Structure 1
Amino acid sequence: MTTTTPGAVRPDTAVRANPARDTWNVLTRELKPVVRDPFTLIFSLVQPLVFLGLFAPLLIGSSGLPVGETLQWFVPGVLVMIVLFGTGATGSNLQYEMMTGSHERTLVAPLARSSLLVGRALKEIAPIVVQSLIIVLIAWPFGFTINGPGLVIGLALLAVFGVGLGSLSYTLALKTKDREWLFWGVQQTLIFPLLILSGMLLPLDDGPPWMRAIATVNPVNWVVQAERALFAGDLGSVNVLWGWFSAIILAAIGLWAGVRAIRKSS
């Protein structure tokens, strides 16, 4: 039989929130399904591979340029497309969790609220890097030139861009909640103008002035231009600086909006 001395202080056994530790735990939790089922990464490459296999030959035929030179222009755009379509839709996973009730259970866990968003956003880096490397390796035998330092810097740029875009996708999911139609309506309305006005598939040099003007304020356009410069080995290009600036600003805005939204989530 144990007795408690009057006035004795009980030891504090409560688990305290630690943003760094909690972010790591959320990150590893989100990566486990990817590791267990890596086929999903390959399956999600179907759309980029279709563009690479069907659109690239049309571009080669219309441009009259050598295959290698055309791929050097086109492949970096495909890599940005992977991020745009992949991370732009990732909020639907969070929306599904909200509709099934599992998201509410994570909210009451002894975790920092910010870690629930940041950990999810950082998870996007892994599929971005893996999928980008696969596309680069597929294009390599057909004349696509790989610049080592440019590849590393380009993947890092795509990772930062993906974190920002993924955070905005999660923010949209938190705002739309169980209205799945609204999430996809807003997502589709934004994705395709961003794609077309980035010069990702076709050059905008011969486009109307209003289209070129909008492209100058489109962050996706600058990321695409930066990737092209990096893969061409032009590491000091001003386009690389603008690409990093756009990606960092987008990541900062996305993380700020996402953390703010998840802290208000209930």
Structure 2
Amino acid sequence: MSTLAFDGTAMLGRQLLRVRNNPALVILTQTMPISMLLFFGYVFGSALAMPGAEYRSFLVPGLLVATAANGIMTGMFQAAQDVHRGVTDRLRTLPVSRAAVPVGQATADVIVTAVGTVPFLLVGLAVGWRIEGSALEAVAAVGLLLLFRFACTWAGIFLGLLTRSEEAAGQLGSATFMLPLLSNAYIPTDNLPGWLRTIAEWNPISALTTALRDLFGNAPVPEGAAWPVAHPVAGSLAWCAVLLAVFVPLGVRRYAHGEG
């Protein structure tokens, strides 16, 4: 465990240097949610039954979770980039813990996400979003959000090691933009057709979004929803546990053994 902690810290430093050396990508990924908040909040808000400010309060938690789900895309692209450029093979020759590299990548991603969340929340406050719950509930919401980002990044790391191609990872990663559209991140699911509402409410993004809205005090838990949305905190933790239980061992094994 001490070896993993030491090597993981070294790999964490490597990933943070990688982020620092690619500021354009960081700026793009951090400004995109803000742009979506302003566009959706002032365009879609006028087309829905919710008044503008109310919709923007509804939207902020959804965009937070949609951004967290993008950990699949960033994790996939970075892992595939390392494999494609031969970095992963060189790291395998070093006397380091085999879990250290993916652990360092996932941890660095969570740190960058946490820092990038601050300006987004400030813009949210500027457009009318407020934390109506307690400070403890707000901290729990942020913790749940970062846990979900960590779990999604592990899924992306495994998929990136599996694809082994920057181009394939980029194309597959773009498909993750569909996940928030099939959830309650942007619109309520109450009026969706029955089969589509079921799909949306079993989407992990819906459980996380509902949990954040509830903890921030922005919207109550909807009645008659599927179990993950009806019990959003428990459903969110369950989804995170499933993602981590599946993709952490798969990612570590794939990194340790390569194509084998």
* Bin for the TM-score computed over the shorter chain: 0.7 to 0.9
Partner of 1:257 in structure 2?
250
Deviation per CA, 1:67-124: give whole Å up to 9, x if none: 4322221000111121222442332122222222222111111111111111211111
Decide which moves more: 49-58 or 247-256: 247-256
TM-score norm. by structure 1 comes to: 0.83
The structure 1 segments of at least 4 consecutive aligned residues displaced by more than 4 Å after TM superposition are 35-40, 233-237
Cα distance in 1, alignment partners of residues 74 and 46 from structure 2: 32
Contact 1:72–1:232 (CA<8 Å) still a contact in 2?
no
Cα distance in 2, alignment partners of residues 160 and 66 from structure 1: 32
Matched residue type, 2:256: R
Matches within 5 A, 1:176-255: 176-178=163-165, 180-189=166-175, 191-232=176-217, 238-255=231-248
Matched residue type, 2:245: A
Decide which moves more: 73-82 or 144-153: 144-153
Which of the pair has more CA radius of gyration? 1
Partner of 2:146 in structure 1?
159
- In structure 2, list runs of 5 or more residues that go unmatched: 222-229
Deviation per CA, 1:140-184: give whole Å up to 9, x if none: 122211243233212211211111111111111111113x34323
* Matched residue SS, 2:187: coil
TM-score norm. by structure 2 comes to: 0.85
Deviation per CA, 1:13-55: give whole Å up to 9, x if none: xxx9812221122112212233566664333123212211111
Contact 2:75–2:160 (CA<8 Å) still a contact in 1?
no
Match of 1:142 among 122, 127, 138: 127
RMSD, aligned CA? 2.6
Decide which moves more: 34-43 or 126-135: 34-43
Same amino acid, percent of matched pairs: 24
Cα distance in 2, alignment partners of residues 208 and 172 from structure 1: 32
Report how far residue 262 of structure 1 moved.
Answer: 0.9
